[in-house]
Structures are given as C-alpha cells and as structure tokens.
Amino acid sequence: MALLRVEHMTHYFGGLRAVHDYNLEIEAGQIVGLIGPNGAGKTTIFNLLTGIHTPSEGRILLDGRPINGLAPNRIAALGLGRTFQNLCLWRHMSVLDHVRLAHYARIDYGLAGAFFGTARRHRQEARIEARSRELLELVGIGHLADQGVLNLPYGAQRRVELARALAVAPKVLFLDEPTVGMTPEELGQMMGIIRQLHQQLGLAIFLIEHRLKMVMELCQRIQTLVFGEVIAEGTPGQIQNDPRVIEAYLGKETVD
C-alpha cells in the first residue's frame, strides 16, 4: 500500500484544464521528483494535493485515507508538510515561533490554557519549544532560533520553511523548488540536508525541482509534466534519455 496515492486526478480552472488524469504513488521512504517546464502545472498539483484547491475529479489517498475535499489544515495535520516555491514566511515572527506554530494541530491545552497560563500549557509549550529547537538544529540553523525571519539570508529562510514543514510531523514532505534562487554553495548544502532528512527520518519526499542535476541525484523516480499531463515516468536514467522529455525541454530536432 502506497503512503500517498493519487488516482486519475483532473482539475479545471474555469474552462482551462490545468491537470489531466494525474496518477502518483509514493512509498514510505521514497523520493519522487516532479519536473517540467514553466507553467506545466507542477505547483498546481502540489496545491491540489495539499488542499488549497479541491480537484475536479479523482481520488487522493494518504495512508489509505481519502483526503480530497478536506481543508488544508486538516490535510497537513494528517501528515503532509510542505514548503512554498516563493517563501511564505510570517514576517513579524521569530524563527523559533515559526517552527512552534507548526505544532498547532497537536496543541490540546485549549483556550483555558491559553487565557490562564495553566501548568499544562507550560509543560506542552516547553515540549514544543524543545522539539522546535531540535528541528532547527537538524536543518542547521539552531543558532538563529531567536532571530526575526526577515533578518535572515535567503538560504537560511529556506531552511526555516523546511524546519517548519518538518514540525507538522509529515508522513510525506512536499518540497516546491527548495533551491530556487540559491547560490551553488547554498544548493549543495540544501541537497545535503534533504539527503540527511531522508536518511535520518526515513521521510517520503515529493520534490518539484528545476535543476535536473539535483533531481537526478536525489530521486528514485521522476515524473515529467507537460501541459498538465505526465508524459514520462521512470528512473532518472530512463527520464534522462526519454526523447519526449528532451523534446519538452529542448524542443523538437528538425533537419532542414
């Protein structure tokens, strides 16, 4: 049984068919990549799976449980953490608060705890803070915990998003172009972190990425999306040599 399974998902924005008959299976511990030219619908697929949009047709099963139609916060709480392509950080909050807040669904001290500062709240907040600091250490920015996010360099902001997504305790982690706009040095570090997370936590990861080198190195399986349809799926080796993929990226070879 696959951890995340998508069956025949199709989505229309008005009359526009953004995604057509999309299928996906991610097993526990697997890294799957989604590549495709700009505007192919990769982020739309992420938004459909995470509940920001509800697919027009098809089924999404997380750990055997149908999740389409659920609100994004429910889906996230069921075990789907994500990062965003263009950073979506909370500009007035500290790094630590970002990670703490992603524990929201597991807080059960209730409003009474929030209003009156009960002992239960203090215990729980202390646990959450300890775990948040661990996660920040894990992605290598433990020393920045008390900074405001806007003071951080770009690469560190990406890591905040990553730590925040991990705090949701995801079964599958969705990474939407985690290295976009990064320097080669930052890119190398990010790849190291993703690999480390994969090994240490045994996470299943679903990755959108433009840098083919990174996808080829990290992923066990790759899907190529063009105009909302998967045109090729297979191991990195298969994808690399697939003429349809080459055509999608480089255009058709014509001889005149």
Partner 1 sequence: MTKEAISPGRGPSAVRRILGPAPLLGLLTGALACVLIERFFGQQVSDLLHLPKMPVLFGILTISKVVAGLVNALFKGAAFEGIELLQLPAAGVYFAVVYLLPLIGVGRITAGAANRAAAALARMPLPASALVHLGLMYVTLHVWAGMSDYRLITLNLTLIAVLFTLSLNIINGYMGEFSCSHPAFMAIGAYISSLFTVGLFVDDKVLGKALVAMPMDYLTFPLALILGGGAAAAGALIIAIPSFKTRGDYLAIISLAFLFIVKSLFENLQVLGGARGIAGQPDWATLPVIFAVVVLGIWIINNFVTSTLGKALNAVRDDETAAEAMTVNTRRVKMTAFLVGAFWAGVAGGLLAHVLRYINPAMFGVQKLAEVLAMVYFGGLNSVYGSIVGAVSISLLGEALRPLEILKWIFIPLLLILVMIYRPTGLVAFRDFDLRKAMGPRTDSRPKV
Q: Which residues bind partner 1 (CB under 8 A)?
A: 50-52, 71-73, 76-77, 81-82, 84, 88-94, 96-97, 100-107, 109, 111, 113-117, 121, 125, 128, 146-148, 151, 164-165, 167-168
**Residue whose CB is less far from partner 1, 88 or 241:** 88
Report the alpha-carbon distance of residue 58 to residue 105 in Å, rounded: 27
Cα distance between residue 225 and residue 98, in whole Å: 32
Amino acid at 174: F
Q: Characterize 16-28 residue by residue with b for buried, 16 or more Cβ atoms within 10 angstroms of its Cβ, and e for exposed.
A: ebbbbebebebee
Q: For partner 1, which is the closer residue by CB, 177 or 224?
A: 177
Q: Which is nearer to partner 1, 100 or 221 (CB)?
A: 100
Distance of alpha carbon 113 from alpha carbon 119, whole angstroms: 8
- Decide whether 26 or 70 has the Cβ nearer to partner 1: 70
Q: Quote the DSSP letter at residue 181.
A: T
From the CB of 86, what's the least distance to partner 1, in Å?
11
From the CB of residue 31, how many other CB atoms can be counted at a distance below 10 Å?
Answer: 21
